Structure 1
Amino acid sequence: MKKWFSIALVTMLASSVLAACGSSTNSGSGSTPAASSTPAPAAKPADKPADKPADKPAEKVTGKVSVYVGFQEDHAIAAMKQFTKDTGIETEMVRMSAGEILAKVRAEKDNPKADVWYGGPADTFVAGMQENLLEAYKSPVAAKIDAKYKDPDGYWSGIYAGAIGFASNKDFLKKNNVKAPEKWEDLLNPAFKGQIVMANPGSSGTAYTMIYSVLKVLGSEDKGFDYLKKLHPQVQQYTTSGAAPGRMVGMGEAGIGILFAHDIIKYQEEGFNTIEMTIPKDGTGYETGAVGIVKNAKNKAQAQKFVDWALGVSAQELGQTVGSFQSLTNPEAKNPAKAIKLAEINTIKYDIVEAGKERQRLLDKWNKEVKK
């Protein structure tokens, strides 16, 4: 009996399975299944990666980025090569002075040709920000940068800092039996008439930094412009590039140059042993070199990758391989041994935001009252 019951039970189960299979086949061949309020079954574990994009690895950004660069060309070229090596993103580069970059970005605002603005004083970036020419981007790397070296909303972030100094040709000093200038007033020495070179502040961020610094050192705009008017006859030439006066002094084409100290050191290291550097004891200004994204950049993802890279240690330390001697803003980056330490010289309180907002007005005044 037990054996018969087992056989009967197996037969009944088999019949149930066949009936279920037949029902499934019929519903798939055109008959309409009964409506159900039961939710669809959850995805299988194997399907989860497709349903949860956040779990995917970040997609690698490729393509190309166009960069306007505001520091010396050898450094710029090395940076572009290293960025491509590190990220795989190709670059297009145009090297200009900071004022020229601002003018070009302004002219191209309806159809931007560049994605990134890299290098040059941050007050020029502030001026661009005021004209809605830059795009905010808070790079995660910027969290490491001191607040005084970056815009709180991410329109620009500092990558280096450098003070204004004087470059003097030693042969010129010896021939004229004069000492290298140690204060701003020393530049008015009659022996220096027609022997000083500096850049034009309209094209050069270096020269605008110098002008803003003079106004602060002398205590007021009126006193500063009185000084600049006296300085004008001493000037042999206003160059387009802020670094050019250093080379001219090194080659004996001028007696005195006004430019950033890190550029003076660069020329000294390149073999211009005739250059003597001094830093104004009565006070000097300094730039915060910056990086930012151009408004409506066509390659925004690539531009963001560039900013991340520029704020990182490897990018900031790269300058040392081509003889750049700025102080670096990333606290994890190692400063060049010969870089001027801002804490060890007499610097003014350089208000980047004010300098940027007042830039065009002060340039117009300089053109009208000084360089007539």
Structure 2
Amino acid sequence: MHRRTVPTSLAAAAVVAVLAGCAAGGNGSGGAEGSSDPVTFICTPQEDWCQLVASEFTSATGIRADYVRLSGGEAVARLSATGDSPEFDAWFGGGAEGHLAADEAGFIEPYTSPNAERIADEYKDPDGRWTGVYVGALSFCSNTDVLDEIGAKAPTSWQDLLDPKFKANVAMAHPGTSGTAYQALWTEVDLNDGDQDAALAYFTKLHSNILQYSKSGSAPGQMAGRGEVATGVIFAQDCQKFINEGFTNLTTTFPKEGTGYEVGAVSLLANARNPEGAKAFIDWTLTAEAQDLAATVGSYSVPTNPDATLTDDMVDLDEVTLEPVDLDDAGAARTELVARFDTEVAPAPKE
């Protein structure tokens, strides 16, 4: 991998050229090219990235793609609601622990893409239940003007968020609806050597400083950008996106004790109506060309394909203290731990 800035116009031109080649004989589209059956996928990243993924996959393969945007928690709930009559063929994005929770409930069909050979072992499941397409580090996204008003500095530790100066000035999503927030919850479990009681005790203390639990994991960054709170707990790539979109009073910091990270995954859903189209979709998402699309719409997560381009807007993971994540444990504990958060800390936001 290499790190450089990609001008949007040049990136778009390169993408068009690459995808034209894919359509003509391309890379990773499998035997489903030109299929008349659409692929319908759950998409968990931000809307503009979802739109681009759907349209460019269709351009590359000739397979029509439809999607429904759902957060990680919403995706698992939607899959549970549909039962044996699935609406979707694949799930793109959202933390791997969410895909593992779906697998625990019987909603994942293992599939090892031939393109997964290019992905590092730590970013894929050995049994093919999920394969990583991007990595994101959890961060504090703070409004420097609001920090000045409350007499606080940008937080650089989890303990900083407990400072009374931050009363009603922190926003985060609810772990029952957001993979981002569940990552924050599980990070505290890891930092407390697997002690879930200690993690929940931390969030009980933090609760008085929380202005609002949002449904979406990125919404707290927008709240910080608008000056509604001092700090939002979100992934760093989302904070950078908001900065580039005009919220220039935002700054990104990381907790020194260690921060959780998300491996955004793609997976094949059980009982898919178009399994071959879904496999072609998964194959395509693992290519460098597909992963390079994210930065063109301001999604600055770190791609997992080593041939993809790293830009200056992406976090240098070597410079952040990452807390090792046991994704299997995080996925297996999700349902029970979220239920405890809902009961012991705060109920999930309603529609």
- Asked if Structure 1 and Structure 2 have the same fold, meaning a TM-score greater than 0.5 normalized by the shorter chain, the answer is yes
Deviations 1:215-241 (A, max 9, x none): 222333232222111001111100000
| 1:203-259 superposed Cα distances (whole Å, 9 cap, x missing partner) | 100000000001222333232222111001111100000001101110111111001
Residue in structure 1 matched with residue 10 of structure 2 by the alignment: none
Write the letter of the residue equivalent to 2:85.
N
Deviations 1:324-369 (A, max 9, x none): 1111111111122221122221111111111000111111111121
CA contact (8 A) 1:123 1:356 kept: yes
Contact persistence 1:61–1:301 (CA under 8 A): no
Question: Alignment partner of 1:68: what SS?
Answer: strand
1:62 maps to which of 26, 35, 40:
35
Does the 8 Å contact 1:61/1:302 carry over to 2? no
Whether the 8 Å contact between 2:151 and 2:165 is mirrored in structure 1 is no
Shift of 1:185: 0.3
Q: What is the alpha-carbon distance in structure 1 between the residues aligned to residue 75 and residue 335 of structure 2?
A: 14
SS at 1:340 equivalent: coil
Identity of paired residues, percent? Answer: 41
* Further displaced range: 60-69 or 134-143: 60-69
Distance 1:112 1:237 in 2: 33
Q: Secondary structure at the match of 1:135?
A: coil
Take 2:264 and 2:57, find their aligned partners in 1: how far apart are those partners? 18
Deviates more, 1:147-156 or 1:159-168: 147-156
* 8 Å Cα contact 1:327/1:339 also seen in 2: yes
Q: Could you give the per-residue CA deviations for residues 275-329 of structure 1, whole angstroms, max 9, x where no partner exists?
A: 1111111111000000011100001111000000001111101001101111111
Whether 1:277 aligns to 2:252 is yes
- What CA distance in whole angstroms lies between the structure 2 residues aligned with 1:214 and 1:152? 26
Q: Does 1:350 align with 2:325?
A: yes
Residue 265 (structure 1) shift: 0.6
Please point out which of 173, 177, 183 is paired with 1:199: 173
- In structure 1, distance between residues paired with 2:197 and 2:41: 38
* Residue 213 of structure 1, aligned match among 163, 187, 209: 187
Aligned residues: 316
For residues 197 and 307 of structure 1, what CA distance do their matches in structure 2 show? 34
1:321 is aligned to 2:296: yes
In the other structure, the counterpart of 1:245 is 220
What SS is found at the alignment partner of 1:85? helix
2:113 maps to what in 1?
139
Match of 1:335 in 2: 310
> Which of residues 158, 162, 166 in structure 2 aligns to 1:184?
158
1:58-101 deviation digits (Å, cap 9, x = unpaired): 57441211011000001110111111110111111111111101
1:169 Cα offset (Å): 1.0
Of 284, 287, 311, the residue aligned with 2:286 is: 311
Contact 2:92–2:266 (CA<8 Å) still a contact in 1?
yes
Aligned to 2:26: none
Q: Which portions of structure 1, spanning 4 or more consecutive aligned residues, are displaced by more than 4 angstroms?
A: none
Higher Rg of the two aligned structures: 1
1:13 corresponds to which residue?
none
1:224 to 186, 199, 215: 199
Which 5+ residue runs of structure 2 have no aligned equivalent?
1-29
- Paired letter, 1:119: G
**Residues in 1 aligned to 2:127 and 2:117: alpha-carbon distance in whole angstroms:** 12
Partners of 1:167 and 1:257 within 8 A in 2: yes
Which gives a bigger RCO, structure 1 or 2 (Cα 8 Å, sep 6+)? 2
After TM superposition, give the deviation of residue 106 of structure 1 in Å. Answer: 1.5
SS at match of 1:273: coil
Structure 1 residues 58 and 296: CA distance shift in structure 2, 3 A: closer
- 2:32 and 2:164 mapped to 1: Cα distance? 64
Structure 1: runs of 5 or more not aligned? 1-56
Aligned-partner Cα distance in 2 for 1:325–1:95: 18
The residue aligned with 2:50 is 76
* DSSP-derived class of the 1:259 partner: strand
Q: 1:156 aligns with which of 130, 138, 151?
A: 130
Tell me the distance in 2 between the aligned counterparts of 1:61 and 1:156: 25
